[in-house]
């Protein structure tokens, strides 16, 4: 399947989210959750899940779309909380005011809390058999919780004013960014009833590649193309791939990860479909 | 079973929590999560779940203790976030500094996020058959999310500077406090394989009773006995049962809910056991 076709299914991700929002018992909370979720962004995580599922099965089904929705809700909550004044203190996100600037801090904290919690409602209601569903709940929660994304954000903040070794930097990236990419690939493989070891490996390479790309864009992109504050890493003296290896060195590292990702994908499927196109999209930083 | 005996099982709630904490990938995050969870408090929600389960089955089993742990983790996260400067701005909780005073705001936000997320890891790993476990995941997430507790906290904050009608006040309490009590009772009944309609009703009455008691204690208790700032509702002109009905009126309302709770419990079980003792504990505000 072509990435263009996979992308047409993103509207269903928004539809499942909006359907869940019908139950929200506070108008302001609903408004704030929808503000951030519907701002869009690249939707790279749900796209990756759906693309790999399509490449492995030849189709896109509701069960995959539902898991992709839960994953994007978790990602959106993490952006809202990361942007808070007490955290990265970012005023812009996805080309618009960040949630706490548009609303206020309390609302942003609660909108994040609710997106995180409701992701598990969406997942629990998905049309997947109970045993696999429980496995996905456990994996998504492990991915996002104190052994994954939240730990990565905590260590990222603690590392801001010190010089991190490459090893420390990679550990943070693996938890903060990599784990959600791994979940996207693993969930696709599990839903498609395929071995998930290679899928995990694919997710790991793509997670690192995506993070290096992010570090590169922070110094090369414009606010208009990125939709968020640029040059922030340098301003906060944050350890990044660019700071560790220089711009050209970081581009080289990106190339290596992309190569590994392509080789891993080739072992998973002969299809040069949507997942391949996503890899090529991450590859382009100019 | 006597409440004293049920209470001996609370150490297992802490043991399950600490076992989950072994996987935490950030030392500071772990420290902060444990600081708030192990501060104790009344543990009324897990006690209620375990007591009702014991009264319905004559025993306490690991599956009930695991669900009780997940529930208390969700409750603890909500306290950490509610205490934040942008929310209720409370410096004390459970007789010690609130999380953001002991650590900092970013750490407190992340500790709350991780407790909420990890609660679903604990639940997903619990020794319960998959179909019931998925039901519990859905109910716990619905209880805590945008259709429940988070919505209640949002509306509670919006209501702080205006005079709420009794109906609005009750709606907020139902979401913010009541829903977790309902979950405790319903989960106990479902785990015991009993009809959960009466359990739901019991939880509703106990949730309202507990909230009225809280409103009363805010004006009558001392800091030492409560472990948190007192007189706060009056200072922020918050709508409370005491403000709506006066102190004596609120005590009367509490009595009514306690009476309803006792009658509902009597329909569920002949046992005058631990659950009965919990009701009597909530009844006493002096």
Q: What pLDDT, on a 0 to 100 scale, did the predictor assign at position A240?
A: 86
B3-283 falls under which CATH superfamily? Farnesyl Diphosphate Synthase (1.10.600.10)
Residue A194: pLDDT over 90: yes
Residue carrying structure tokens 């650590």 = B103
Greater confidence, B61 or B168?
B61
DSSP string for B39-78? T----HHHHHHHHHHHHHHSS--HHHHHHHHHHHHHHHHH
Residue A98: pLDDT over 80: yes
Residue A241: pLDDT over 80: yes
| Subunit contact A33:B146, Cβ cutoff 8 A | yes
Residue of B nearest to A26 (CA): B151
| Percent of chain B with pLDDT strictly greater than 70 | 97
Q: What pLDDT, on a 0 to 100 scale, did the predictor assign at position A175?
A: 92
Other Cβ atoms less than 10 A from the Cβ of B277: the count is 17
CB-nearest partner of B116 from A24, A113, A175:
A113
- C-alpha to C-alpha distance for B201 and B263, rounded to whole angstroms: 10
Q: What pLDDT, on a 0 to 100 scale, did the predictor assign at position A94?
A: 84
Q: What pLDDT, on a 0 to 100 scale, did the predictor assign at position A159?
A: 87
Judged by a CB distance cut-off of 8 A, whether residue A110 touches chain B is yes
Residue carrying structure tokens 């990435």 = A3
Greater confidence, B191 or A230?
B191
Q: What pLDDT, on a 0 to 100 scale, did the predictor assign at position B286?
A: 61
CB-nearest partner of B29 from A33, A77, A150:
A150
Q: What is the pLDDT of residues B161-218, one digit of tens each?
A: 778 888 888 899 999 999 999 999 999 999 999 989 999 999 999 999 999 999 999 8
Q: What pLDDT, on a 0 to 100 scale, did the predictor assign at position A28?
A: 97
- Which of A104-113, A213-222, A228-237, B227-236 holds the top average pLDDT? A104-113
Judged by a CB distance cut-off of 8 A, whether residue A21 touches chain B is yes
Check if the interface score ipTM surpasses 0.85.
yes
Q: Which helix (H) or strand (E) holds A93?
A: strand A92-93
Residue A108: pLDDT over 90: yes
B94 pLDDT tier (thresholds 50, 70, 90): confident
A130 to chain B: which residues are within 8 Å by CB? 130-131, 133-134
Average pLDDT of the residues in B59-81 = 98
- C-alpha to C-alpha distance for A120 and A122, rounded to whole angstroms: 5
| Subunit contact B121:A109, Cβ cutoff 8 A | no
| Subunit contact A117:B84, Cβ cutoff 8 A | no
Give the orientation angle of helix B130-144 with respect to helix B179-191, to 10 degrees: 170
Touching A: B residues 165-204, CB under 8 Å: 171, 175
Residue B71: pLDDT over 90: yes
Judged by a CB distance cut-off of 8 A, whether residue A157 touches chain B is yes
- C-alpha to C-alpha distance for B245 and B242, rounded to whole angstroms: 5
Interface size between A and B, measured as CB pairs under 8 A: 177
Residue carrying structure tokens 């290096």 = A212
Q: What is the pLDDT of residues B3-23, one digit of tens each?
A: 999 999 999 999 999 999 999
| Subunit contact B147:A120, Cβ cutoff 8 A | no
| Subunit contact A134:B150, Cβ cutoff 8 A | no
A37 pLDDT tier (thresholds 50, 70, 90): very high
Judged by a CB distance cut-off of 8 A, whether residue B151 touches chain A is yes
What phi and psi values does residue B92 have, to the nearest 5 degrees? -125, 150
B95 pLDDT tier (thresholds 50, 70, 90): confident
A258 pLDDT tier (thresholds 50, 70, 90): very high
Average pLDDT of the residues in A155-163 = 85
Judged by a CB distance cut-off of 8 A, whether residue B102 touches chain A is no
Touching B: A residues 121-150, CB under 8 Å: 121, 123-125, 130-131, 133-135, 137-138, 140-142, 144-148, 150
Please name every residue paired with B92 in a beta bridge, in sequence order, or none if there are none.
B97
A171: CB partners within 8 A, 6+ apart = A155
- C-alpha to C-alpha distance for B227 and A280, rounded to whole angstroms: 57
B113 to chain A: which residues are within 8 Å by CB? 77, 81, 112-113, 116, 150
A286 pLDDT tier (thresholds 50, 70, 90): low
A35 pLDDT tier (thresholds 50, 70, 90): very high
Cα torsion B98, B104, B105, B107: sign: negative
């Amino acid at each position: 399947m072509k990435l263009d076709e996979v992308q047409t299914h993103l509207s269903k991700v928004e539809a499942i989210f909006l359907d869940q929002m019908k139950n929200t018992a506070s108008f302001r909370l609903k408004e704030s959750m929808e503000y951030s979720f519907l701002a869009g962004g690249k939707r790279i995580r749900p796209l990756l899940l759906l693309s790999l599922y399509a490449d492995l099965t030849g189709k896109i089904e509701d069960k995959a779309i539902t898991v992709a929705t839960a994953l994007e809700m978790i990602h959106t909550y993490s952006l809202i909380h990361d942007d808070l004044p007490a955290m990265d203190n970012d005023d812009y996100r996805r080309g618009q005011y960040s949630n706490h600037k548009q609303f206020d801090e309390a609302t942003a904290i609660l909108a994040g809390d609710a997106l995180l919690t409701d992701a598990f409602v969406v997942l629990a209601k998905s049309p997947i058999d109970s045993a696999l569903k429980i496995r996905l709940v456990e994996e998504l929660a492990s991915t996002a919780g104190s052994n994954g994304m939240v730990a990565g954000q905590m260590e990222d903040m603690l590392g801001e004013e010190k010089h991190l070794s490459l090893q420390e930097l990679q550990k943070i990236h693996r938890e903060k960014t990599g784990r959600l990419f791994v979940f996207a690939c693993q969930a696709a493989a599990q839903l498609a009833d395929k071995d998930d070891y290679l899928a995990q490996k694919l997710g790991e390479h793509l997670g690192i590649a995506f993070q290096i790309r992010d570090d590169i864009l922070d110094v090369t992109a414009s606010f208009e193309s990125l939709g968020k504050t640029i040059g922030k890493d340098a301003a906060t003296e944050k350890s990044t791939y660019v700071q560790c290896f220089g711009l050209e060195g970081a581009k080289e590292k990106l190339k290596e990860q992309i190569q590994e990702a392509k080789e891993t994908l080739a072992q998973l499927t002969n299809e040069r479909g949507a997942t391949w196109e996503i890899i090529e999209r991450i590859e382009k930083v100019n």
